A and B are shown apart, each in its own frame.
Chain A
């Protein structure tokens, strides 16, 4: 775990942000929180399609679990109402518990899968549950990194140019 965190820190030091990819929400099932599993072309050279889809699908399943309506959520709602919602001073809602699980999962995924590939996943809750933000880092000192400035029209000042110059 220490080495993986070390990798993240090294990544930050040696890399510069090239671009960001945003995975938007998928509203085809209504207003529940779900993200599109469509593979963005900018990540084509950075990560395997299958890994990416698996991550997004797991996140979707977590959110479905948080918003699941059923016996336990009704019970929680009724109990909260009966105690005039004071019970939330003592315990967290089911949703909050799942959100904590999600943030742990995202951190784990970042350490194990995304950081070694020069990517960083941002927890959607920090972006108002609108998008999953994937930051693509360009390795400044690495010689073999492919330029992700190839994602055309990204509009951000590219470290890709700097990366190419450093080679």
Chain B
């Protein structure tokens, strides 16, 4: 979407470029071209890079966590609804709640969130950008920021020179004639005018977010705003604006934890295969691990071999579009700056409640995969999964399950 509109603006601009190149300086189309390629580069980079997806937990991990949660809550007997699963951590003096993700079966790290479109937990989740077609998270936030910053420069640049072009022409032939000579300029000016306001506004908003080291998600929820309480402050901020900016834009990039080129081996009707982030590092370690996994196969025959291999998630560039499900948390406050820009960028929020019956087809194939050899653990997991559907706090993961069952 963004690609085509930028391209269109460029094409229109090319019509005014020869005029401007001759009249003023040939540097204008050159600078415009450079900006254009920079914008395209950062757009593609944002779209196609892994935002920081957290791979789903292996069945053993999930079972271990379930066990620990049960111990913490006291054993839940049938019919009793277990309390929502959260862990509290004190970070830098602030109490942060870590939520349990039912889809990925992990306790989400702080600042991570589950994106229902991508159906993954993403580290330092900012938002899911439909224009870019990808989540914006820890690993691609800087590319996203450079994209919108360069796009705002580009739109201002194009707008300025379209106006200049029309003015120069109208000095020669009069205003109406100038408009007749280059009708595309009118369209371009209008498009650029609206783009400038929204894109520049969005860049300003993200500059504010970077300087205070917050994510869009946190800002919308007002997690660290003073309105919540006098003692509420952002525990992740480094104190000064300069450090916050440097860390966000020039800090170390962690490598991707998922294997995007692997093949998903079809096994039971489980649409989303777990990806055990297998990187290229420690190849020898992986060999010993694979060999170590073989006794696992021998002693637990119900696990199929493809579970232990490395199914990867196919390209994250294409959003999973079967159901447009928004983020579960409604905004408590909208930022004053460029509210409409933010609205266009962030998904519409929908509240949906899911009936229990949607979970049963999904649950049925899962127990054999969850844990081999312990029927007690199976039933407990299924029981908990069933109860989770009725818990309004787990809407996001339930939505994920609905999407899976509807595929």
Contact = CB atoms under 8 A, between A and B. Distances in A.
Interface of A: 8-9, 12, 15-17, 20-22, 24-25, 27-31, 66-69, 73-74, 76-78, 81, 84-85, 93-96, 99-100, 102-104, 106-107, 110, 120, 122-123, 125-131, 133, 135, 137, 153-157, 159
A157 B299 contact: yes
Contacts of A120: 288-289, 292
B111 A156 contact: no
B61 A130 contact: yes
B55 A74 contact: no
A9 B98 CA distance: 40
Contact of B281 (A27, A125, A131): A125
20 contacts: A12-B292, A16-B298, A17-B295, A31-B124, A67-B252, A77-B250, A77-B253, A84-B41, A93-B255, A107-B288, A120-B288, A120-B289, A123-B286, A126-B279, A128-B257, A133-B61, A153-B67, A156-B63, A156-B373, A157-B373
Nearest to B374: A155
Interface of B: 41, 45, 54-55, 57-58, 60-61, 63-65, 67, 71, 89-92, 96, 98, 106-107, 109-111, 123-124, 142, 146, 235-236, 246-247, 249-255, 257-258, 276-279, 281-282, 284-286, 288-289, 291-292, 294-296, 298-300, 371-374, 376-377
A41 to B, nearest CB: 12
A99 B281 contact: yes
B301 to A, nearest CB: 9
B281 A103 contact: yes
A25 B28 CA distance: 53
Minimum-distance CB pairs A-B, first 10:
A103-B282, A77-B250, A157-B373, A128-B55, A128-B277, A155-B374, A155-B377, A74-B250, A99-B281, A27-B89
A24 B371 CA distance: 19
Contact of A28 (B90, B106, B294): B90
A107 B67 contact: no
B273 to A, nearest CB: 14
B299 A159 contact: yes
A143 B243 CA distance: 59
Contacts of B291: 9, 12
Contact of A73 (B45, B60, B71, B252): B252
A102 to B, nearest CB: 8
Given A28-B90, A130-B57, 5 more contacts: A24-B107, A103-B285, A155-B373, A155-B377, A157-B373
A99 B255 contact: yes
A24 to B, nearest CB: 8
A100 B281 CA distance: 6
A37 to B, nearest CB: 15
Contacts, number: 173
B366 to A, nearest CB: 16
A12 B295 contact: yes
Nearest to B111: A31
Given A96-B255, A96-B281, A16 B295 contact: yes
Contacts of B64: 20-22
A104 B281 CA distance: 9
Contacts of A29: 91-92
A137 B374 contact: no
Given A30-B92, A74-B246, A99-B281, A157 B252 contact: no
Nearest to B257: A128
B300 A156 contact: yes
Contacts of A110: 285, 288
A67 B254 CA distance: 8
Nearest to A111: B288
A108 B376 CA distance: 38
A28 B89 contact: yes
A99 B123 CA distance: 19
A50 B51 CA distance: 38
Contact of B67 (A16, A27, A130, A155): A155
Contacts of B98: 27
Contacts of B371: 155-156
B277 A69 contact: no
A17 B292 contact: yes
Contact of A125 (B142, B247, B279): B279
A94 B115 CA distance: 29
B299 A12 contact: no
B295 A69 contact: no
A21 B296 CA distance: 14
A15 B276 CA distance: 24
B294 to A, nearest CB: 7
Contacts of A31: 109-111, 123-124, 236
